Amino acid sequence: MSNLSPSHRNSVVVGALLRSRFSEYLVESVLGQGTFGTVAKCRRIADRKTVAIKMMKNQNQLAKAEVAVLSKLRCLDSDKCNLVRWHRSFLSNDHICLEFEHLDKSLYDLMVGRNGQPLHIKEIRPIVQQLANALDHLKTAGIIHADLKLENIMLVNHAQEPYRVKVIDFGLASDVSAAKLGSYLQSLPYRSPEIILGLPFTEVIDMWSLGIIAATLYLGFFPFPGSNDYNMMRCIVEAIGQPPNTMLTLGSKTGRYFQRDHDSTNSTWTLKAPEQFWKESGIQSKETRAMKLRSLYDLLHIRAIGGETMADRGAESCDMLDFVDLLIRMLHLEAAKRITPRQVLKHQFTSMCNMGWMYHLSSYVRSSSELLNPTTDSRKAVCGSLQQPSSATTHPIQQNLPSASAERSQYSGKRMQASTAVSTPLAQAQRSNAATSSSYSLKRKLVDSDSRGQRKRVKSDPAPPTTSSSALTLASSSSYSLKRKMGDSDSRGQRKRVKSDPAPPTSSSKALTDEPDKRSVPAESRAQSGRKRKSHDVEYVGHQRGDNRN
């Protein structure tokens, strides 16, 4: 935010009292200063509560417009909607004062405190999710924020609730129905193509700003840091591509940055060279980019994939691909094809719905889930509640995005290259898991085969006695089975002989009554007994046959 003029800067004094008919406020410090006012940290005398008060002088129209927007949003739950809570407005010392809840610090302050060190994508995810939730509710209310940027996104309490954020500053906000063609909205690095070109616009311009915020948090610097609209458009064309001719033809400001080809039967446009723009406008184009992006897929190669295990590296590779895919959809040049807030909430990167199966395999997935859902069961949330907004709304979803297959086919070549470049760890992890599973199955088969072989050997050749209880049990069981088998065979044979060739009554009765209990006879004794009976039967049958022949 730019500084106030000296008169405005001196209008708020630390230690001064602000009076309203509700309470008195003690100014403790100045939190920020801008073109249209000052924000101070104040202590409400009545209950000693800390609040933030935005003071505006000689800005009655802007103040009234902001109050109108805040009044419209007052019916919403500010905590569930990730919007700053507005308490009241009052007049004090010729200042229109707006009282808000006091928050921690902005994302801009966070990045400054990190010396520009970028955030990891698993830290960016909860921020994107909450901002998409806020934009979803603003879309429902029919409101354009029009100034979404790092300075206007506040951390609620970063020490106790990491990366919980709320949207502030509705000074440029308006109803969608009141959007004026040609308005200069949005801070320059966050400005959407439709604003630069002077096209009709809606709340979709806020989605472009969200895409710039996500990319900035990942890079540590603006992806399109133009010092003017021409530089901004030149950076956009080099990284994303030139807007379609139909879009350029409708823009009221297109001629400032593009040259029309009059020799062609079709309306074609070409971006002016920096020298031509300087000659026509007197504005010199300066190169301010820390890195020239030739494609958003360049983001895939900025950082190396880390992770201690193959599963972690595979999960992070997939996550990075999903992050870039979401950025491409947020930064679509055509507003009608740009992703909606509700679709952002359902996207794979934001919802993590495609990584639930890796929860127990990857510490990366577990830590990402905990950042996204610090107060809930992160395991269940990975594929459950994260797919829905934190406060579900009942308004219909505007399907202004082409089908997933059509959208992905547009980037299929680049995505295949990116997937090949970074998905190797995941493939290796999957092969490793498959090998482990195959090895485990082979071990199980070998064990089962050994067990079956052992049981088979025990049945045919009982193991000698051993001191092991398990061996004793197995041998006893096998011996018992063998005895039963032999006993059944002997009984069937004996019944057969009695039926066909009855023995003399005395011998048969004696054999039946004198036969001992088979379970109490050792296996060897029973085998010998069986052989003796078999021999006796053969002799007896031969005797019978001899009698018949005689």
Enumerate the known binding-site residues for ATP.
Answer: 54
Instruction: For residue 514, give both structure tokens.
Output: 């004198």
CA-nearest of 10, 83, 19 to 53 is 19
**In the structure, how many helices (H) and strands (E) does the chain have?**
22, 13
- Please check whether residue 222 is in contact with residue 212, taking contact to mean a CB–CB distance below 8 angstroms: yes
Q: Which helix (H) or strand (E) holds 212?
A: helix 204-219
Give the C-alpha separation, 319 to 312, whole Å. Answer: 10
Find the catalytic residue in 136, 147, 229, 312: 147
Please list, in sequence order, all residues whose beta carbon lies within 8 angstroms of the beta carbon of residue 379, skipping any fewer than 6 positions away. Answer: 359, 369
Three-class DSSP category at 114: coil
The tokens describing 121, both together, are: 């994508």
Pair 230, 277: CB distance under 8 Å: yes
Binding residues: 54
Active site residue 325: no
CA distance 23 to 503: 123
Tell me the longest C-alpha to C-alpha distance in the chain: 148
Read off the tokens for 473: 């049990």
d(CA 207, CA 344): 10
Distance CA 71, CA 65 (A): 10
Two tokens, residue 378: 């992160």
258 in Cβ contact with 269 (< 8 Å): yes
The secondary element (H helix, E strand) that includes residue 260 is strand 258-261
Per-residue 3-state assignment (H helix, E strand, C coil) for 273-288: CHHHHHHHHCCCCCCC
> How far does CA 484 lie from the centroid of its chain?
65
What is the C-alpha separation between 16 and 487, in angstroms, rounded? 110
Neighbours of 329 (CB within 10 A): 21
Which one, of 394, 399, 402, lies nearest residue 137 by Cα? 394
Q: To the nearest 10°, the Cα dihedral for 390, 396, 399, 400? A: -90
What's the rounded Cα separation, in Å, for the pair 135 and 81? 9
Residues annotated as catalytic are 147
